[in-house]
Chain A
């Protein structure tokens, strides 16, 4: 177990983990410790920080701190669900396309090329316009946007690993494709995949935040970091904290996830790839 957690010993890995844990704690435990309800006005709109409301109030007079503590679940939960769904689809397509070397590869990849041609945000907006705005549509939409590029990355990594001796040895043993892929291929493409997963997750957050910001995602009065920015941005001069605080949460979450992903990938890369490609002469 220790060698799996080795990435924590690097500065970026430890810092990333602390940041991610902090944001997750805020999102998960926030609603239980919030001083006020997230939807009830507690005073005049746009009052500055005070004892009762350390971050002031928003455009309806609701407590910004409480809304901040309530508003993380939706962004993180939706982004995580969408990324997971995107990976489920993208990883499968990429592994099958990269490993099979049959007609499935060009078929899948050309389909993916077509998907990549759609502008992501526009695609999501059209989907919402057609199917209505709901949690399911948001998750599905973001997953459809992400899956094609995931499958490309996975396919490229798979192509490289699939010709290695250990994969061929497994094929010569007559092992089923599923066993070869899960035992021999998947563990060896984890490094690029994990870095990518970090980026994907932050990208999912940004797309969902964009849609929420435009008011097309989650509907009021529920609290959500991106919606908070959207609702209060016109009045940024009156209580800047109402915009800056949720924006900062999204920003540090993004940074934390990327730092962690990088550190994990680097720790995998260092131990599982020979340090120097040793050839006959060293």
Chain B
């Protein structure tokens, strides 16, 4: 399905956006989207993809200005309109589905009223509850007639996102802009939302722009893909073409960074950090990170040229590069199992959480073991209790029953009552890199702390070792005196890894360490973890919801559902022949670049 020969629902021509200070944010972006077509806009943080998406609504974040270009939505020019006429278009002609539905819905407004609000703004005359019900039915929330009376906090994350979609589609606009609508939702919910969007596209012929950092998510539903980097479109073409035959090295790198649950492959992150606004190089903006760069790349910005029917690429060397083959090599190379007792043995642990006056069970009768040098993945949806298990092993949560044996010795419940040696040998890395480093401590002092406390090094020795650790996690030494707020998400997570490694642990607990990161950064962090595990003979407990990640780096997998393990086994076994229904559903829902058509209910 292409936009050629059809009247476009969205037509963007040479859109250029600037900061107040004159630095370009978006440079010369053009695309068309036909009715009933989904355009996936893909890029890393800072690529300008959200800025473009918001510009479609005639909205620019404070400090951003339009320099030139034209945006036509359903035949109407957006550029140059005043606030009032833009407001009359929003919701009626073009609507927006935000990333974080919990933050986007007014917590003091019933969801039915939120839908009525949009209707009242755009429809003259009385609006009835029937249209609210119809809007909720459209997103499959219509079964309960009283659903509209609920407040956002009474809904699950998936239901909240459906409500925002219902709000966005209630006036039947021809165009919708979706900004990472499934980020933060677990795979099963994500799958349902994607199906919903595909149905809306097919049945209502809505033209959609879907913004995301994860190529695999849009691969299943987008008709065309626009790859953005540093404010420019680097590649633009039909989904199959872009994914099967990427012409730009950046696109190829993005494809290689996506972990795939059904086709495990060695992951390759993209070296370096994506360029920020105001640091754009003179030539091709991706050249500093490109594996194929030559001197000519740095001379001038390449033009967007035809690389096939309906396929544009911004690379001077595209004709000379063969990017289609995927990186080969075994996905996993694990250390041979050491004979004897496992390093960690968890048997029959129960854990509860206190909420108000009642205690909620979070984990019920969970037992497993981790052999030395092995990477065991713990998989499940949010709320399945997988993080609680990690916290129990790290001594942050005291289990109410069961025992944990580490190297043959029983571990006390709380970290403070364990021996120094036990505390040193077990380290945990947390999910959110923006919260895992103390914002008031420099990188150096964050890493020094475990050296001093757990290994009792002198100040001088500790300082020397900080340099080695930074090198180990591939961070430049100049970052040692920075504060966390001056680092990117990927850099922070590397510092957190360095902090854990400082203790010279035997067991590393990684609690969703990559879920807040871009896919390309995720691949780089996983690559690093995998290499460290091999070099340092680390055992790992990898807690994640992403089966692709599991397939690429774990040896064994534990699948968790509602507080108990429902399936365990080696990765090959579980992922190729899942026995439990829940595992099958998880696997089915995992987004994949290769099996794009597999998106099924």
Contact = CB atoms under 8 A, between A and B. Distances in A.
Interface in B486-521: 489, 496, 499, 503, 516-518
A279 interface: yes
Interface in B549-565: none
A273 interface: yes
A275 B485 contact: yes
B439 interface: yes
Contacts of B440: 187-188, 272
A173 B449 contact: yes
Contact of A171 (B415, B431, B435): B415
Given A165-B430, A274-B485, A173 B454 contact: yes
Contacts of A188: 438-440
A170 interface: yes
Interface string B413-427: 001101010010011
A110 interface: no
B382 interface: no
Nearest to A187: B440
Contacts of A166: 435-438, 441, 446
A103 interface: no
Interface string B29-63: 00000000000000001100110000000000000
Nearest to B484: A274
B243 interface: no
B104 interface: no
B396 A280 contact: no
A174 B503 CA distance: 13
A111 interface: no
Interface string B189-219: 0000000000000000000000111000000
B436 A169 contact: yes
A169 B499 contact: yes
A102 to B, nearest CB: 12
B45 A281 contact: yes
B483 A272 contact: yes
A271 B482 CA distance: 11
A281 B420 contact: no
B449 A170 contact: yes
A169 B496 CA distance: 10
A183 B441 CA distance: 9
B45 A278 contact: yes
B183 interface: yes
B453 A281 contact: no
A56 B11 CA distance: 79
A172 B415 contact: yes
A173 B518 contact: no
A165 B436 contact: yes
Interface residues of A, number: 27
B179 interface: yes
Interface residues of B, number: 49
A185 to B, nearest CB: 9
B450 interface: yes
Nearest to B424: A173
A172 B100 CA distance: 31
Contacts of B503: 173
Nearest to B213: A280
Contacts of A278: 45, 434, 489
B493 to A, nearest CB: 11
A193 B518 CA distance: 35
B432 interface: yes
Contact of B436 (A164, A176, A187, A279): A164
Nearest to A3: B483
B213 A173 contact: no
B428 interface: yes
B399 interface: no
A173 B437 contact: no
Contacts of B436: 164-166, 169
Contacts of B50: 281-282
Contacts of A273: 439, 485
Contacts of B454: 173
Which of B435, B483, B517 lies at the interface centre, i.e. has the most chain A CB atoms within 10 A of its CB? B435
Contacts of A275: 485
B99 interface: yes
A279 B437 contact: no
B156 to A, nearest CB: 20
Interface in A73-103: none
Interface in A132-174: 164-166, 168-174
A162 to B, nearest CB: 12
B355 to A, nearest CB: 13
Contacts of B99: 279, 281
A168 B430 contact: yes
A33 interface: no
Interface in B435-485: 435-441, 446, 449-450, 453-454, 483-485
Contacts of A187: 438, 440-441
Contacts of A169: 428, 430, 436, 499
Interface in A170-191: 170-176, 183-184, 187-188
A277 interface: yes
A62 to B, nearest CB: 51
A274 to B, nearest CB: 5
B45 A271 contact: no
A163 to B, nearest CB: 9
B434 A174 contact: no
7 contacts: A171-B396, A172-B394, A172-B423, A173-B450, A174-B395, A188-B439, A271-B483
Interface of A: 164-166, 168-176, 183-184, 187-188, 271-275, 277-282
Given A174-B453, A272-B439, A281-B183, 6 more contacts: A166-B437, A173-B423, A173-B450, A188-B438, A274-B439, A282-B46
9 smallest A-B Cβ distances: which pairs? A165-B436, A165-B430, A187-B440, A166-B438, A272-B439, A174-B423, A282-B45, A281-B180, A164-B435
